[in-house]
Structures are given as structure tokens and as C-alpha cells.
Amino acid sequence: MQQSSNIGFIGLDVSATGDRIGQFIIESGLCDKEIGAQMGLTVQSINKWRHGRSLPDIENLYILSRILGKKVDDFLVPVAPSYAFKEKAGQDPALNRLMAYNSRFGEYLKNHNAA
């Protein structure tokens, strides 16, 4: 496997993703209670997502995206790795594979969010 020299991101920014979920909910004009009722979830679950205390699993993220009229990718906010982390990755084959995968996934998100 060829390692990418341009590492796109290493994971998701939970807080920023929660902010984005909250922004989309506000834009929809729906309240947490209405969304929770449509999804069969508690208001507390929706509130945790909005405030970045947890993230929805992939199934709930898909359902939420349909309710709010967004793409799943629109919700996700990637985190760029620090320079020090990149340096350490050069010494760890498993971390190299993870970072290469994240780089490809980051490119996928970038390309699909631009569409």
C-alpha cells in the first residue's frame, strides 16, 4: 500500500459536528422533541448530538439527514492531525495504514461535499 504524503484528517471533530447538527436542526425549524418523535428517540439523545456530547450512530445519522434534507457528509467535520502526530506515524505501520485510509476518506468527503 502506498502511503499518502498528504494526510487529510485523522477523525471527526465531535464538537464541531455537534454544532453542525444543531445548525441544521435550527434551519429546519423543527425542535428536538419533533425530531426525537420522528426517530423514536428521546429529546435527550437529540440534545446530546446538538451539543457535541455524543454523535449519532450511522443509521441514526442517515435518518436525521433524511429528516433535515441534508447529505450524511454535510454533518461530518474532519479533524486534521497535528504535525507531531504525523511524525510519530512514520514509525508505526498500523498508524500509517489508518492515516492513509483517513486521507482517502477525507478526499472522498471533500469531493462529495463540493458536489
Give the residue with greater pLDDT, 78 vs 103.
Answer: 78
Residue 93 placed within a domain: yes
CATH number, residue 22: 1.10.260.40
Residue 90: band (very low, low, confident or very high) from pLDDT cuts 50, 70, 90 = low
**Domain membership flag for residue 5:** no
Q: Is residue 1 part of a domain?
A: no
Is 107 inside any structural domain? yes
| Integer Rg of the chain from CA | 16
Range of the domain at 35: 11-114
Is residue 6 in some structural domain? Answer: no
Between 76 and 9, where is the model more confident?
A: 76
Q: Residue 61: inside a domain, yes or no?
A: yes
**Distance in angstroms (rounded) separating the CA atoms of residues 101 and 96:** 9
- The count of structural domains within the chain is 1
Summary mean pLDDT of the chain: 80
Stated pTM of the model: 0.63
